[in-house]
A and B are shown apart, each in its own frame.
Chain A
Amino acid sequence: MTAAAGVRAPVRAGRIQPHARRRESGLLALVAVVLVLGSVSLGATQRQLAGQPASWLPADLGQLAIYLGALLVAHLALIMTGRRADQVLLPTIGLLGGLSLLLMERLPQALVTQSLLGRNFGLASIQLGWLLLAIAVITIAAIGVRSDSWLRRYKYTWAAAGIALLLLTFLFGTEVNGALLTIQVGPFSGQPTELIKVVLVIFLAGYLSDFRPLLVAADLRLGPLRLPPLPYLLPMLAMWAMALGIVVIQRDLGAALLFFAVFLALVYIATNRTSYVVLGLLLFVAGSVIAYQLFGTVRDRVDIWLNPFVDASGKGYQVVQSLYAFGRGGIIGTGLGAGLPLVAGRLPIPAIHTDFPFAALGEELGLIGVVAILGLYLIVIERGLRVAASAADDFRALLAAGLTLVVGVQAFIIAAGNLKLIPLTGVTLPFISYGGSSLLANGVVVGLLLALSDRGVEPPPPPRPGRGRRPAFLGGARSAR
Chain B
Amino acid sequence: MNRRDRAPIGQGIARIGIVLCLLFGLIAVGAGYWQVLRASDLSRAADNPLVIAAARDVVRGRILDETGAVLASNKKDANGEPYRVYADRSLAPLIGYASPVYGTAGLERAYNAELSGQGSPNSLDDLLSKLAPGAQRGDDLSLSLSLKLQEAAVKALGSDRGAVVMLDPRTGRVLAMASTPTFNANAIADPTTAVAAFTRTAAAAGQPFLDRATMGEYVPGSVFKIVTSVAALGSGAINASTSYAQQPAAEQTGLPVSGFRIHDGHHDFTGSLALDYDQAIEVSCNIYFALTGLRTGGAALSSWAAKLGFGAPLPFDLPTAASQVTNGGGNFGGGFKDDVELANAAYGQAETLVTPLQMALVAATVANGGVEMKPQLVTSIAGPGGRQAIQPAVLNTVMSPSVAGTIGNAMELAVESDWGRIFTSGAAIPGIDTAGKTGTAQIGGSAEPNSWFIGYAPATNPTVAIAVVVEQGGHGSARAAPIAGSLMGLWLKTLSK
User: Do A and B come into direct contact in the complex, CB within 8 Å?
Assistant: yes
Are A272 and B7 interface neighbours, CB within 8 A?
A: yes
Across the interface, B13 reaches (CB within 8 A) one of A329, A401, A420, namely: A401
> Is B273 part of the binding interface, using a Cβ–Cβ cutoff of 8 Å?
no
Bound together, the chains give a CA A348 to CA B49 distance in angstroms of: 7
Report chain B residues within 8 Å CB of A390. 10
Report chain A residues within 8 Å CB of B417. none
> Is B26 part of the binding interface, using a Cβ–Cβ cutoff of 8 Å?
yes
> Is A452 part of the binding interface, using a Cβ–Cβ cutoff of 8 Å?
no
Are B1 and A265 interface neighbours, CB within 8 A?
A: no
Interface size on A, residues (CB 8 A): 54
Bin chain B's interface residue count. Answer: 35 or more
Question: Closest residue of chain A to B54, judged by CB?
Answer: A341
Of A112-120, A167-175, A189-197, A377-385, the one touching chain B: A377-385
Are A328 and B36 interface neighbours, CB within 8 A?
A: no
Question: Closest residue of chain B to A370, judged by CB?
Answer: B31
Are A327 and B7 interface neighbours, CB within 8 A?
A: no
> Is A201 part of the binding interface, using a Cβ–Cβ cutoff of 8 Å?
no
Across the interface, B34 reaches (CB within 8 A) one of A323, A348, A405, namely: A323
Bound together, the chains give a CA A155 to CA B31 distance in angstroms of: 40
Are B20 and A381 interface neighbours, CB within 8 A?
A: yes
> Is A3 part of the binding interface, using a Cβ–Cβ cutoff of 8 Å?
no
Are A389 and B5 interface neighbours, CB within 8 A?
A: no
Bound together, the chains give a CA A272 to CA B12 distance in angstroms of: 6
Across the interface, A330 reaches (CB within 8 A) one of B15, B23, B39, namely: B39
Which of A212, A329, A421 has the most chain B CB within a 10 Å cutoff? A421
Q: For residue B110, give the distance in angstroms from its CB to the closest CB of chain A.
A: 16
Are B23 and A324 interface neighbours, CB within 8 A?
A: no
Are B26 and A421 interface neighbours, CB within 8 A?
A: yes
> Is B38 part of the binding interface, using a Cβ–Cβ cutoff of 8 Å?
yes
Across the interface, A331 reaches (CB within 8 A) one of B21, B35, B41, namely: B35
Known: A323-B42, A330-B39, A366-B35. A269 touches B9 (CB 8 A): yes
Of A51-59, A95-103, A411-419, the one touching chain B: A411-419
Bound together, the chains give a CA A393 to CA B231 distance in angstroms of: 78
> Is B6 part of the binding interface, using a Cβ–Cβ cutoff of 8 Å?
yes
Bound together, the chains give a CA A209 to CA B337 distance in angstroms of: 66
Question: Closest residue of chain B to A416, judged by CB?
Answer: B27
> Is A247 part of the binding interface, using a Cβ–Cβ cutoff of 8 Å?
no
Report chain A residues within 8 Å CB of B47. 312-313, 320
Bound together, the chains give a CA A362 to CA B36 distance in angstroms of: 12
Are B35 and A412 interface neighbours, CB within 8 A?
A: no
Report chain A residues within 8 Å CB of B31. 326, 362, 367, 370-371, 419
Known: A269-B9, A362-B35. A371 touches B28 (CB 8 A): yes
Known: A313-B47, A377-B24, A394-B9. A327 touches B30 (CB 8 A): no
Across the interface, A326 reaches (CB within 8 A) one of B1, B6, B21, B35, namely: B35
> Is A154 part of the binding interface, using a Cβ–Cβ cutoff of 8 Å?
no
Give residues of chain B (31-58) contacting chain A, Cβ–Cβ below 8 Å: 31-32, 34-36, 38-43, 45, 47-50, 52-53
Known: A394-B9, A405-B16. 14 other contacts (CB 8 A): A216-B5, A217-B1, A323-B42, A324-B49, A329-B35, A330-B36, A362-B35, A370-B35, A371-B31, A374-B24, A378-B24, A389-B10, A397-B13, A420-B30
16 pairs across A/B with beta carbons < 8 Å? Answer: A212-B6, A269-B16, A324-B43, A328-B50, A343-B53, A362-B31, A370-B31, A371-B31, A374-B28, A381-B17, A385-B17, A397-B10, A398-B9, A412-B24, A420-B30, A421-B30
Q: Please list the residues of chain B having a beta carbon within 8 angstroms of any beta carbon in chain A.
A: 1, 5-7, 9-17, 20-21, 23-24, 26-28, 30-32, 34-36, 38-43, 45, 47-50, 52-53, 123, 126, 130
Q: Please list the residues of chain A having a beta carbon within 8 angstroms of any beta carbon in chain B.
A: 212-213, 216-217, 265, 268-270, 272, 312-313, 320-321, 323-324, 326-331, 334, 340-343, 348, 362, 366-367, 370-371, 374, 377-378, 381-382, 385, 388-390, 394, 397-398, 401, 405, 408-409, 412, 415-416, 419-421
Q: Which 5 residue pairs spanning A and B have beta carbons closest together?
A: A327-B42, A269-B12, A341-B53, A348-B49, A419-B30
